[in-house]
Structure 1
Amino acid sequence: MFSFKTLLKTFAAGLFLAAAGAQAAYPDKPVTLIVPWAPGGSTDILARVLSDHLSKSMGQTFVVENKSGASGNIGSALVARAKPDGYTLLVGSMSTHTMNEALFSSMPFDGVQDFTPIAELALVTNTMVVNAELPVDSVAELIEYAKANPNAIAYASAGPGSTNHLSAAMFQKATGVEMVHVPYRGGAPAVLDTAANRTQLFFSAGTQTLPHVKSGKLKLLAVTEAQRSPLLPQTPTVAETVPGYELAVWYGAFGPKGMDPELVRRLNKEINAVLARPEVIEKMNGMAVELRQSTPEDFARLLRADADKYGKLVRELGIKAE
């Protein structure tokens, strides 16, 4: 005859096995990857690469849904309000989680507190380009020209508060040059007008600028990260001329706050495996997107540090998205 103690142990063991079985079953239904930007951009392309490979490796469909608007806030808010069960995830970018809190007077979420960091996905090579007709070939020459011709250079952006805007505003503050800001509704018209010499300077991802550099309509002067990009090793950083200047744009995978740490670790492992695949690296390198490997803890530290850094910068520069 079983004793009560034996029955209790058997019951506890059954609960443990049931819980383990339930966890092992993830995912037992489709997983949604929210992209808070329009289709066709580098964030969207990376999300679709992830969805394809994760669907194969995890045995369940990962579906990309684009929910754009309000500088990434609309799609990100959907994930912040979702159940933390791993079935609604976000492929987001640095600006929404580290800058928007300072840019908008009202936010539907806290970019740090309301999300579970899963993995840093990629670093986007952020370039500094000028129209080919501008008589400068280096950052130093651009500074010299801008100081000799105050407000003669118009710089484009994808809108007030965008990373393009912040990059140029930081450059103005660091060098003391005077330039004119011309905001657009998105990066596509901004880069086209810079190529057409309606604006002369643009800071943006290489995905947007490098095709125009190859065509000869734009000149590549520098990248904005702290170190030279392994994808553009001959291109200097802005900081080589302007010490201390840095703006690094990353993409990351998030879930709602409160996700099970074991599930987070599993997703992190699966995502890192996709990002290590040679064909994925080659595809994203061709778009000037450098894939990363990270732990959830590494990504959480980066998120907190950049939220402090860029939030402070935005406030100091007085930039508002509205």
Structure 2
Amino acid sequence: MTMRRRLLTAFALACALPLAAQAQVYPNKPVRVVVPQPPGGGFDTVGRLMADRLGRQTGQPFVVDNRTGSGTLVGTDFAAKAPADGYTLLVGSVSNLALNPGLYANLPYDSMRDFEPVGLLVSYSYTLVARKDLPQQNLRDVLAYAKANPGKLTYASAGVGSGQHVLAAALWHMAGVDVAHIPYRGAQPAYQDLLGGRVDLFFDLSPTARVQVDAGKAKALAVSGAARNPMHPEVPTVQESGADLQLESWFGLFAPAKTPPEVLQRLRAEFAKMAALPEVQEALVKGGGKPLALVGDDARTVVRRDVDTWPRIVKTLAIRAE
């Protein structure tokens, strides 16, 4: 029996060696980073930053794949169903992981069950901007006017179910006011009408809104984060303005569930190294973001909080994706 045990042990070790060797050399071929939005937006910007730095660190290309369709649904579902080998990763955010479960009655993936967080890199607040000639100068004034004049004010969004739509709708709901929604197909046409004075308000990611505010083409009324945004320290938060609402849109890297622990460990180690780089943190701050550098369970805690919170809010608002 002793000899038999030795043979079985030797056989088990021999079988394990290829797997151990594979984990040690990961990655040994290009890694796909799925961005579920077109080039140019927040998903793409963060995805390309992560891909570039991780590729340099590991010596293997991390290639961005802009896989679009149905908002963020197509790309996210593709990543959820990809082989769990570490060679297909997803750029995840509040939009595709926390809002989609409330927007779709039959979501084809489960945000917590189908993904393992590698890490969260950055968060961005939203800024409520107004056309520059709007008489109201702050959010308190907007809410007071909206209470007295239901449906007279209008707000733009980048589409039904977008982050801009959900956040604004939640604000009006919690404040008990009626502001008319004007959905657009993307932020660019929404800004065209805001700057042209054809729509009154727009709740957009702060880095994008900053461009219009700094150019004097629109004015900032409030920011959605827990604290004021360093880009516009004079602009109060939504909570300071009398509404109990806050949201920051985080972005990070996720792997399909059942990715081998050794691969996840390597990915998380490389992610932590990348997130700590001074040039990465400088680029994030310069772009209007708040560096997070949350890895593994710390990232999962933040994701779980928003996955538990925002789908309930979306369903209360009766918003459904187009």
If the TM-score is normalised by the length of the shorter chain, which range does it land in? over 0.9
Residues 235 and 11 of structure 1: CA distance in aligned 2, closer, same or farther (over 3 Å): same
Deviations 1:70-92 (A, max 9, x none): 12000011111111000000012
1:285, CA displacement in angstroms?
Answer: 2.0
Number of the residue aligned with 1:278 = 278
> Which amino acid letter does the alignment assign opposite residue 42 of structure 2?
S
Higher mean Cα deviation, 79-88 or 275-284? 275-284
Mapped contact 1:129–1:202 kept (Cα < 8 A): yes
Give percent identity, aligned residues only.
Answer: 38
1:172 matched to which residue of 2?
172
Q: Retained in 2: the 8 A contact 1:191–1:208?
A: no
Structure 2 residue 64 is the aligned partner of structure 1 residue 61: no
The residue number in structure 2 matching 1:183 is 183
Whether contact under 8 Å (2:36, 2:66) holds in the other structure is yes
Correspondence for 1:44 = 44
Q: TM-score, normalised by structure 2?
A: 0.93
Q: Report what 1:203 is aligned to.
A: 203
Q: How does 1:66-215 map to 2 (within 5 A)?
A: 66-215=66-215
Q: Cα distance, 1:236 vs. partner?
A: 1.7
Give 5+ residue unaligned stretches, structure 1: none
Per the alignment, in what secondary structure is the counterpart of residue 294 of structure 2?
Answer: coil
Distance in 1, matches of 2:236 and 2:86, equals 41
Query: Distance in 2 between the 1:107 and 1:16 partners?
Result: 37
User: How far, CA to CA, are the matches of 2:3 and 2:164 in structure 1?
Assistant: 71
Aligned partners of 1:228, 1:262: CA distance in 2, in Å? 40
1:296 lines up with 2:275 in the alignment = no
The 1:114/1:6 distance shift into structure 2, 3 A limit, reads closer
Q: In the superposition, relative to structure 1, how do residues 193 and 300 fare at CA in structure 2: closer, same or farther (>3 Å)?
A: same
Alignment root-mean-square deviation, CA: 1.9
Separation (CA, whole Å) in 2 of partners of 1:219 and 1:152: 19
User: Does the CA contact (< 8 Å) of 2:175 and 2:243 recur in 1?
Assistant: no
Change in CA separation of 1:185 and 1:10 when aligned onto 2, cut-off 3 Å: same
- Structure 1 runs of 4+ aligned residues shifted over 4 Å read 2-17
C-alpha contact (below 8 Å) 1:239/1:246 kept by paired residues: yes
Deviation at 1:198, TM superposition (A): 1.1
Count of residue pairs brought into register by the alignment: 321
Greater Cα offset, 195-204 or 5-14: 5-14
What's the CA shift string for 1:29-85, capped at 9, x where partnerless? Answer: 110000000001122122111111111111111100101121200001111111100
Native 8 Å contact 1:128 1:201 kept in 2: yes
Match of 2:253 in 1: 253
**C-alpha displacement at 1:207, in angstroms?**
2.7
Q: Once the two structures are superposed, what CA deviation does each residue of 1:94-153 show, in whole Å capped at 9, x if it has no partner?
A: 111112122123322122221122111210121111111011222212212222333221
SS in 1 for 2:89: strand
SS in structure 2 at match of 1:119: strand
Larger mean Cα displacement after TM superposition, 185-194 or 105-114: 105-114
Letter in 1 for 2:106: S
| TM-fit CA distance, 1:213 | 0.2
Task: Report how far residue 7 of structure 1 moved.
Answer: 4.9
- Which deviates more, 228-237 or 26-35? 228-237
Is the CA contact (8 Å cut-off) linking 1:212 and 1:218 kept in structure 2? yes
TM-score, normalization by structure 1: 0.93
Residue 71 of structure 2: SS of its match in structure 1?
helix
**Counterparts of 1:121 and 1:183 in 2: how far apart (Å)?**
30
